[in-house]
Structure 1
Amino acid sequence: MKKIIFLVLIIVSFSCKNETPTNGKLNIVTTTTMITDLVKNIGGDYVNVQGLMGSGVDPHLFKASEGDVTKLVNANVIFYNGLHLEGKLVEVFEKMGTATKTPIALGETLDKNTLIGSDYFASNYDPHVWFDINYFKQFSKKVAEVLSEKDPTNAEAYSKNLAAYLEKLTALENNVVGIVNELPRDQRILVTAHDAFNYFGKAYDFEVVGLQGLSTATEAGVQDVQKLSAFIIEKQIKAIFVESSVPKRTIEALQAAVKSKGHEVTIGGTLYSDALGNAGTVEGTYIGMFEYNVNTIVNALK
């Protein structure tokens, strides 16, 4: 009952809300840290951006607080990943879509025929699309398009920011290819806490294995740990990886299982999967996060 009342209040608030921008700037609300960073790059000084999720926050499990609802009510535009990544927010966004404004699900704008299928999500697709830089470029173009429609006065600025950011993403692509090529293909096996890196694997020819599957909402069982430990020993994998937004105990249990069978595997470092690093750090940006992850993976597996 409380949930129903909560959603009704959201709809009423949205229906009655005056969407006047603050200080002449659009009020933008974003969900994941990757999208927050993206919108800041495209919007620049012409938008106010508030992200609902911070560093280390798992979007699969995130629930909106009353404060988050206030941010959503005051927004002129809402950008989120979609493809059921923000599982707990889906119903909220669906209710909003029936009111006076429709949140923009960036993942839903991609060509579904190119996405990786998944039975873990209601969308039937793996939602971790930001690990394919080409998809992130498409996100960037969509954000610039929406901002220009909402704020045509500054459309030229958004276009220039888009062009500059796309150049940086192309440079990132070239850099990543150079780093990955240092690692022989038979050593490109990436074992992590959950399957967030399938698009990365597809783009750079890695076999990706996640202990918890695609969604952190499911827990890894003893059989999962034993099965993956046998795989690690068979493939002579040198390192496995913790994720910043997932408790490290599952990977530590996996390491212990390998050791109990007379073998050793190191924890090669912590990867940023569903969230960026702390704000103000290199890893707190999409580009910095991507470069950090690739260097960490390659250096540990070499």
Structure 2
Amino acid sequence: MKQISALLLVMNLTLVACSAPQNTAVAPSPSENSTAAKPVNNHQNKLLVVTTVAPLTNIVSNIAGDRVEVKGIIPEGTDSHTFEPRPSDSDVLSKANLVIVNGLHLESPTEKLAKASKPKDTKIYELGGNTITKDQWLFDFSFPKEKGDPNPHLWVNPKYAEAYAKLAAQQLTALDPAGKDYYATNLKNYLQRLDALDKVTREVVASIPAKNRKLLTYHDSWAYWAREYGFEVIGAIQPSDFKEPSAQDVAKLIDQVRKVGVPAIFGSEVYPSKVEEQIAREAKVKTANTADDELPGQGAANAMQNTNPQHTYIGMMANNMRIIADGLKGNSKLVDSLNTTNVVGPTATATTTTAK
């Protein structure tokens, strides 16, 4: 009997050992990340921050790094002014711990869905409204004052992108105080990249003859950039109702381009139209497409998921500077000194690169 009891005891211990969980998570060692605050590596444990347009998503994710999941819900190449959220976006918003939007009436349908879908305690934070005051709003061709909607494209101005990054760091720290040092480190590194972008932009502008520092674009998204860097926006092809311009409008623009004598006008990758080609042909100027919310090439706006080193906010602005410089007879080679990669993620590189 003693032998049978001993045999049964051994069998029971074997069964217990075999039934133990095999996928128990092992906490990462401190050496796995060299930043001041260790990022969370278990995707299921991450906080979720929902953003809107790709440049915002990229800016926020450069600060959030691996501690927070950042998800943008407005697809690239989509008109953010008129984008209607999908049913699946409601599910994403229902799980958000923080929602970060541009504001200034840019993503009204998305903000409306966020208010209806988000958890009660989840904050919706507007970057634009916390970067400039109402007296600094700009109204223009695409955004006339009588309609009450200011031009919302602040991020096209790198100085405002710096403000967005700082505000994002504040909000992430409030959401996740334990990550304060980690966010501060990412912010410091990212601000170095944005400062280099600002310096190169000023060099590019200085290389363009003063008489050519005028912009006619399809969608009027360059107002805050122009104010910062000494350009004049002479018009926008797209009317304020976002429809195609009338034949009369086109004729006026052709006359205006001829009168001011700019060597190029600029279309939009998001708003494909043959109107700018017609204007350029009849006014005998060049045309090229710029971008304000579509990052270059294929990739993810979230820096932690991005395997394309050019698919970044800084990469988008670097492309724009090349296009504008080439079109307006400036020096596009000045842009070559820029490091356009993210400061975090698969393609992150050292932050020591500065503008020459």
Structure 1 249/39 Cα, relative in aligned 2: closer, same or farther at 3 Å? same
How big is the shift at 1:216? 6.4
* Deviation per residue, 1:65-120 (Å, 9 max, x gap): 01111111111111111001113324334546894323111111123133323536
What residue in structure 2 maps to residue 139 of structure 1? Answer: 164
What residue in structure 1 maps to residue 17 of structure 2? Answer: none
What residue in structure 1 maps to residue 237 of structure 2? Answer: 211
What residue in structure 1 maps to residue 195 of structure 2? Answer: 170
What residue in structure 1 maps to residue 21 of structure 2? Answer: none
Match of 1:266 among 286, 289, 295: 286
Could you tell me the percent identity over the aligned residues? 31
Give the SS at the match of 1:23: helix
Match of 1:116 among 135, 138, 145: 138
Match of 1:252 among 267, 277, 282: 277
Q: Which has the larger radius of gyration?
A: 2
What residue in structure 2 maps to residue 194 of structure 1? Answer: 219
Give the SS at the match of 1:234: helix
Structure 1 residue ranges (4+ consecutive) displaced by more than 6 angstroms after TM superposition: none
Equivalence map 1:54-133=2 (5 Å):
54-95=75-116, 99-112=120-133, 113-117=135-139, 118-119=143-144, 124-133=149-158
Separation of aligned partners in 1, 2:199 and 2:269: 25
Coordinate RMSD, CA, aligned: 2.2
Separation of aligned partners in 2, 1:219 and 1:121: 20
What residue in structure 1 maps to residue 68 of structure 2? Answer: 47
* Deviation per residue, 1:11-68 (Å, 9 max, x gap): xxxxxxxxxx953221111100011101110000111111112321210121100111
Contact 1:84 1:122 in 2 (8 A): no
Structure 1 282/234 Cα, relative in aligned 2: closer, same or farther at 3 Å? farther
- Paired residues in the alignment total 275
Contact 2:103 2:126 in 1 (8 A): yes
What residue in structure 2 maps to residue 295 of structure 1? Answer: 322
What residue in structure 1 maps to residue 27 of structure 2? Answer: none
Give the SS at the match of 1:284: coil
How big is the shift at 1:293? 0.3
Which consecutive unaligned segments of at least 5 residues does structure 2 have? 1-41, 300-306, 330-356
Structure (1 or 2) with the greater helix fraction: 1
Give the SS at the match of 2:100: strand
Separation of aligned partners in 1, 2:148 and 2:116: 17
Which consecutive unaligned segments of at least 5 residues does structure 1 have? 1-20
Between 271-280 and 28-37, report the one with greater CA deviation: 271-280
AA aligned opposite 2:190: Y
Contact 1:194 1:216 in 2 (8 A): no
Separation of aligned partners in 2, 1:175 and 1:250: 31
AA aligned opposite 2:138: I
Separation of aligned partners in 2, 1:54 and 1:175: 29
Between 35-44 and 273-282, report the one with greater CA deviation: 273-282
AA aligned opposite 2:290: L
